Chains A and B, each alone.
Chain A
C-alpha cells in the first residue's frame, strides 16, 4: 500500500518546524510569563510559588517607579525612533546616489549594527567617562567646552547619551530597509515628474515619501517595539542611573525580578509591556493604513 499525503498535509508538514519553534520560543515563554505574573516567586526559593491573584499587577500599577520608568521609556523610545527614521531616510537617500565606491560606504554603514551591543556600550562608557574619557578631552582641547561634561552622571545628559548610542547603533537598520525600497521605485516616475517641472523637494514629497510609506510604517513599528523593550544598552551604559533617570520598563522588570527578588512582579511588568506594545502597534498600523491597498485589491 502506497502512503500518500494530500497537498494540505504536505503544507502542514512544512510548517511544522516553524510552528514548533514559535510554540517553544514564543508562545511558551509568554504563557510562562503570564503564569508567573499571578504567583509570588522569590528566585532564591524556586519551589515556593503561591498564587496571589492580581497582587503583582496592583503592586506594579501603584509603584511610582513604574510610572517614572514608563514616562522615561516613552521619551527613550519616541526620540530614538524618530531620530533613527529621520536620519535613516536621509542617509538612505544619500547612499542611493550612483557614485563610485558607494558600495563601500553602504558596507561601512553596517558597522555599528553588527558590533555586539556589549562591546559598544562598554566602549561608550569609556568614551563618555567624564574624568578620563576622550570625548571630553577632545572637546576641551578644541576649546568647545571649558569644563568637563558629566555625560553619564546627570539625569538629562545620561538619557541623551543613551539615546545617542541607540540612534547610532540602529540607524543602519533603517537605512538598509529604506535603501532596499528606494531601489525598487520605478525611475519612470521621477522622469515623468521632471518633465512636469517638479523640483527635488517636490519629487521627494510626492513620489519618494508615498512610496516609502509602507516600509516606514513597518520600520517604525519594529523599531518602536525593539527600542521600548531594550534592556542591555541602558543596563550596560548607565544601569538606569544616575538615580533612576534612565530606567525604562525593561530595566524596571529586571530590577524587580532580580534585585528585588520579586519574579512575579517582574513578570507582571513584562505582561503589561506586551499589552502596551500590542495596543500601540495596532493603533499605529491602523493610523498609517498599512496593508489597506492589499485588502482593497
Chain B
C-alpha cells in the first residue's frame, strides 16, 4: 500500500515539475495583446500595423491591437479602464488630456523614446516636444500629429454673394458674409460650427475666446481663473450674433454633424480640421472642387487668428501596464521610419498633419492627389496655421495647464454657450456661471498645480 502511494506521489510530483518547467514555453507561445487607443479613423490602424511589424520581428507572441475611441467618449473610456486597473499599452491623446494625466502622475516618462527617434531635430518648425505633453520638465508624450481647426469656405457661394477674399477677413466680415449668404441662398446656412455640449463645441468656442484675448486660467498668476473677462464675454456675444446664421440644430452639433453639414452642401462656411476636405473629396466632388481652407478670421482689435490645435502625442499609462518596454521599442521602430509616418498621415489626408520634417517631405504626402489639387489649402492645414496654434491646455501659448482636460470632461465652455443660446441667459451671466465652474475645477484640483 505504502509503495503504491509513493508511486502516485512520485508521478504527481513529476507532472507538477514538468508543468512548471513547461510554463514559460507555454506562456511564450500564448499570444499577448497590447491595446492601443486612438481616434476614430484609419491612421491609428496604420500605426498599429507598424507596431506589429516590430512585434513580429522582436516580440513573437505579442500583438498590438487598435481600439478606436470616439472623440466624445475619451473620458468615459479613460475613467472606466484606469479605474478598473486595465489601461491600454499606448494612448494617442490630445495634449490637454496628456497634461492632465501627466500631472496626475499616471504616465511613463518617454525621454528615451524621443531621444531614440531624434524627435527634437526632426520636429516641423513651430512645434516643440514640450507642446505635446511635458509636465514640470519631464517629457510624457511622443509627438504624433497636429491638426489645426480652420475656416472653410465654398468659393462659388462667396463669389455669388459678391464677397471678398476670406484670407483677410475679420470677425465683422465673417458675420456680414454669413448674413449675405443666407439672404442669397435661402435654405443654406451662412455658417456652421459645433455648439453642442461636447468636445467639438468646446474647441470651436475656445478659438473665439482666445482671438478676443480671453483666457480660462492664467498660468502667469498660478492659474488664477480669469474666464469672466470682457474678452470672453465679447467672444460669446459674437457667437450669439453668428448663431442667427447657423442651423438651429447647431446647438447639438459635434464633430460629425459639422462635417456632414458642409459636405452635403447645407452650409457655405464652417470651422473644422482637415477632414472636411478629405470627406468632400471622397463623397462630394462638386463641393470639394470649390472648397478652400483659410486661417480663422481675425479679431478686429487683437488681430489674432488662434486655431484650436490637436497637438497629439503617444502617452503610456505607467500603472498596471505590462507592455512598457515593448511599447517604447515598437514606437521607436515606427517613428524612425519615414515611410510608416508618411503612410500614417496619408491614410486620412489631409486630416493628420505631419510632425516630422522628413515625413512632411515624403513623396507619399507631397504627391498625394489632394495636395496636388489643393496646394494652397493643404499648406494652410499643414504649416500655415502653425504660428496660430494653441489649445485649451496651452492657451495663447502662455503655459501648460493640467486643468483643461478636466474642464473638457465637463464641457464647460460649450455649456456656457448653451446657457446663453437655449436658456436665454445674457452672455455675461452665462460666462459668470462658467467662471464658477472653472474656479471649482481649480479648487478641487489644486494639488495638480504644485
Query: Which of B176-184, B248-256, B361-369 lies at the binding interface?
Result: B248-256
- A131–B101 CA distance with the chains assembled, in angstroms: 38
Query: Which of B41-49, B80-88, B280-288, B333-341 lies at the binding interface?
Result: B80-88
Please, which residues of chain A bring their CB within 8 A of the CB of B83? 43-44, 46, 263
Please, which residues of chain B bring their CB within 8 A of the CB of A241? 196-197, 251-252, 418
- A140–B207 CA distance with the chains assembled, in angstroms: 36
- A208–B376 CA distance with the chains assembled, in angstroms: 75
- Minimum CB–CB distance for B55 against chain A, Å: 29
Q: A153-B248, A153-B251, A263-B83 are in contact. Are A239 and B266 (CB under 8 A)?
A: no
Is A130 within 8 A of B248, CB to CB?
yes
Please, which residues of chain A bring their CB within 8 A of the CB of B249? 129-131, 150, 152-153
Q: A130-B249, A238-B252 are in contact. Are A243 and B75 (CB under 8 A)?
A: no
Residue in chain B with minimal CB distance to A128: B249
- A245–B76 CA distance with the chains assembled, in angstroms: 21
- B407-450 vs A, CB cutoff 8 Å, 1 = contact: the mask equals 00111000100110011000000000000000000000000000
Question: Per a CB cutoff under 8 Å, which of A44, A155, A261 touches B422?
Answer: A155
Which of A43, A152, A245, A263 neighbours the largest number of chain B CB atoms within 10 Å of its CB?
A43
Is B260 within 8 A of A260, CB to CB?
no
Q: A153-B248, A259-B75 are in contact. Are A131 and B422 (CB under 8 A)?
A: no
Summarize A's interface: helix, strand, loop or mixed: loop
Please, which residues of chain B bring their CB within 8 A of the CB of A261? 79, 406, 409
B226 at interface by CB-CB < 8 Å: no
B29 at interface by CB-CB < 8 Å: no
Question: Per a CB cutoff under 8 Å, which of A44, A240, A260 touches B106?
Answer: A44
**What is the interface residue range for chain A against chain B?**
20 to 34
A276 at interface by CB-CB < 8 Å: no
- Minimum CB–CB distance for A262 against chain B, Å: 8
Interface residues of B in 214-256 (CB under 8 A from A): 247-252
Please, which residues of chain A bring their CB within 8 A of the CB of B198? 239
Question: Per a CB cutoff under 8 Å, which of B76, B104, B260, B415 touches A258?
Answer: B76
Please, which residues of chain B bring their CB within 8 A of the CB of A155? 422
B264 at interface by CB-CB < 8 Å: yes
**What is the interface residue range for chain B against chain A?**
20 to 34
- A158–B101 CA distance with the chains assembled, in angstroms: 35
Please, which residues of chain A bring their CB within 8 A of the CB of B250? 153
A112 at interface by CB-CB < 8 Å: no
Interface residues of A in 216-275 (CB under 8 A from B): 238-245, 255, 257-261, 263
Is B410 within 8 A of A242, CB to CB?
no
Please, which residues of chain A bring their CB within 8 A of the CB of B418? 241-243
A292 at interface by CB-CB < 8 Å: no
Residue in chain B with minimal CB distance to A153: B249
Is B196 within 8 A of A242, CB to CB?
yes
Is B419 within 8 A of A45, CB to CB?
no
Q: A243-B419, A245-B422 are in contact. Are A258 and B79 (CB under 8 A)?
A: yes
A132 at interface by CB-CB < 8 Å: yes
Is A242 within 8 A of B266, CB to CB?
no
B78 at interface by CB-CB < 8 Å: yes
- Minimum CB–CB distance for B25 against chain A, Å: 35
Is B248 within 8 A of A260, CB to CB?
no
Q: A131-B249, A131-B266, A243-B423 are in contact. Are A46 and B75 (CB under 8 A)?
A: no
- A63-95 vs B, CB cutoff 8 Å, 1 = contact: the mask equals 000000000000000000000000000000000
- Minimum CB–CB distance for A278 against chain B, Å: 28
Residue in chain A with minimal CB distance to B72: A239
B261 at interface by CB-CB < 8 Å: yes
Q: List 28 A-B contacts (CB under 8 A).
A: A43-B80, A43-B83, A44-B104, A44-B106, A45-B104, A130-B247, A131-B249, A131-B261, A150-B248, A153-B252, A154-B248, A154-B422, A238-B252, A241-B251, A242-B197, A243-B251, A243-B415, A243-B422, A245-B422, A258-B75, A258-B76, A258-B80, A259-B75, A260-B409, A261-B79, A261-B406, A261-B409, A263-B83
Which B residues are closer than 8 A to A by beta carbons? 72, 75-76, 78-80, 82-83, 85, 101, 104, 106, 196-198, 247-252, 260-261, 264, 266, 406, 409-411, 415, 418-419, 422-423
